[in-house]
Structure 1
Amino acid sequence: MNKEETIGSNIIESSLKLPFVKVDRREFLIKIFKDKVDDYEKLIEDGPTSFFSKVELDSIADRIINKEVLASSGMSFAAGVPGGLTMAATIPADIIQFYGYALRLAQEISYIYGYENILDDDSQLTEEGKNTLILYLGIMLGVSVAGSTVRLLSVKFSQQLLKTLPRKALMKTMYYPVIKKVLKHFGVVVTKKTFSGAVSKVIPIIGGGVSGGINYVTLKSLSKKLKIELGKIINYTEDEMNKDIEILEGEFVEISRNELDNSSKIDEIKKAHELYLNSVLTEDEFNTLKKQILNS
């Protein structure tokens, strides 16, 4: 992993340790729909889409988003006050709780639109479940290919997709590069947010208010993006599926080209370093050449 990917991964790991993050699909659906449906087993087996229209599910998702965003904003206010929450290593506590709520909301929104439980039978988060959350976060952060990947990997359409795209190609050459791209993008976003957020921490109570306000607007915006993308799975057509496949395949070509370029640069630097070791280049000449290669 590069620096940004490591930062993104570390924050996700820290956020997942928060007690409120993991959401059991069965418990959540029964709690939300207990006054709206009589057949709980059908609700769990087939999902809310068997009972409600997309318009109704959109409304329910909006209520969940508003509730969780308000809860997160209250926590962010406390974190904005010096001494409100402790620091986890070098990561501000409100950054961890912000993305903790984002990951919690991601699960709740996905369950509303009929996606599968990301926890196993023992209510533990599997590696596949964690990767699914990373993709959800990627959708929130505007990584467009993440939405296509999530829809194509949904249980409902996976068998249909595999007739067109081999699973080995999907998982090993496309799925994991998308995960890496999301982590890298996430690391960059968090680094910028941490730097700008530090300004509000120097002003005690006002800082807390600023932190909570920014939290509210940002988390609500991210959640709306996820709601829109996950909601597309309802009435998902073959044309839309083919469009998502094209997006994913196009992203794979882009990723492959970037990896090839990086590999080529590494080879050039190695050759230049050999020339330096053999006294063909001076140390200053080698450093200058290395910078030129990296910036090309």
Structure 2
Amino acid sequence: MTANEVIENPESRFSAVLMGAARLPGVHINRNAYLRSALVRYCSDDDIRRAIEDTPAAAGIPLDVLDRVANESIRYEAAKAGALSAAAGIPGFVFMPATVPADMAQYFGHMLRIAQKLAYVYSWPNLFSGDSDDIDDATKGVLTLFVGVMFGTQTANTAVGKVAGMISEQALRKLPRQALTKGFVYPIVKKVAGYLGAEMTKQTFARAVSKAIPVVGAVVSGGVTVATYLPMAKRLKNHLASLELTKPKPQVVDAQVVDAAVLGSFATDPSSRQDQGPPLS
């Protein structure tokens, strides 16, 4: 594929922006540190510890508390995105070729930040591998679907629900890499990326128009960013909050472990044995 074909391919265009935004300083959210700081006002130290070691749902944190934390994070990220967008709009028409790509990158960077925060609040596993900032194919896939949900893509909604179902049913501590990179979800990821690439082109044009007049462009740009960012973030929040992952499941003990424990108690405690009649003469 030539460079021109990459530019013209909506899927490749979106993937390039996603990868670039994911590598920006501050975009990677440390799951443990975020949950600790976000929950400290509402939860006990023990609940926070369990939320980090397992998930907020497994720690028994009520959904209304999680919703409150999510809304606070959305407001914080929207304010930051709006302020940076307004700053990018100040130079005006002369510097537009430089400011529009930078504005788009930071905008998507804040979308990825809130996507991670909402995922962790609503009990998704760590989206990045350990403490690494590298974005692998599974992470790229799930972030693409999250952005798709933010843009109101029903296909992305369905795919996110399927991935969440796999995580919930199998009690996974990591993303289901096979499904996201080679399995049944992968074609959906590619389709959503193509749609987002086309939408991104429309947004780039809208942002260029808003920056044509200095100062006024800054105000318009910052306002447009907040006005679009808030409903998209809330759309993702509402979808993640509705999934099975937010509902803690009762702990299931392996049947073999139970059988071994029961047999062991019978072997060591004669009083626990059932009466099997008088001894044979």
Structure 1 length normalisation: TM-score? 0.70
Deviation for aligned residue 1:175: 1.3
Structure 1 position 55 matched with structure 2 position 64 = yes
Cα gap change, 1:19 to 1:170, in 2 (>3 Å):
closer
Alpha-carbon separation, structure 2, partners of 1:61 and 1:232? 13
What's 1:114 paired with?
Answer: 123
C-alpha separation between the residues in 2 aligned to 1:71 and 1:219?
11
> Which structure dedicates a bigger proportion of its chain to helix?
1
Matches of 2:151 and 2:186, distance apart in 1: 18
Alignment-mate amino acid for residue 6 of structure 1: S
Matching of residues 143-222 of structure 1 within 5 Å: 143-154=153-164, 156-159=167-170, 172=182, 174-222=184-232
Q: Specify which of 25, 38, 41 is matched with residue 31 of structure 2.
A: 25
How is 1:1-296 mapped onto 2 (pairs within 5 angstroms)? 3-35=9-41, 36-39=43-46, 40-49=48-57, 50-82=59-91, 92-124=101-133, 125-154=135-164, 156-159=167-170, 172=182, 174-234=184-244
In structure 2, C-alpha distance between the alignment counterparts of 1:120 and 1:173, rounded to whole Å: 20
In structure 1, C-alpha distance between the alignment counterparts of 2:197 and 2:85, rounded to whole Å = 20
Contact 2:96 2:208 in 1 (8 A): no
Counterpart amino acid of residue 231 in structure 2: S
Change (3 A) 1:156 1:3: closer
Residue identity opposite 1:157 in structure 2: S
Pair 1:183–1:37, CA change in 2 (3 A): same
Give the number of equivalent residue pairs: 231
Deviation at 1:14, TM superposition (A): 1.6
Q: 1:65 to 1:203 in 2, by over 3 A?
A: same
One-letter amino acid of the counterpart of residue 33, structure 2: E
Conservation of the 8 A alpha-carbon contact between 2:168 and 2:245? no
Distance 1:93 1:234, change over 3 A: same
Contact 1:136/1:146 (<8 A) preserved: yes
Work out whether residues 81 and 110 of structure 2, in 8 Å CA contact, stay in contact via their aligned partners in 1. Answer: yes
Contact kept in structure 2, 1:54 and 1:234, CA below 8 Å: no
Aligned to 2:271: none
Any stretches of 5+ residues in structure 2 without a counterpart? Answer: 1-5, 172-176, 248-281
Q: Structure 1 residue 3: deviation in Å?
A: 1.2
CA contact (8 A) 1:152 1:158 kept: no
Provide the C-alpha distance between the structure 1 equivalents of 2:124 and 2:131, rounded to a whole number of angstroms: 19
Counting aligned pairs with the same residue, the percent is: 35
When normalised by structure 2's length, the TM-score is: 0.74
Give, in whole Å, the separation in 1 of the partners of 2:68 and 2:139. Answer: 26
Which blocks of at least 5 consecutive residues in structure 1 are unaligned?
Answer: 161-166, 238-296
Which of the two has higher C-alpha Rg? 2
RMSD: 2.8
- In structure 2, relative to structure 1, the CA distance for the partners of 1:191 and 1:235 (3 Å cut) is closer
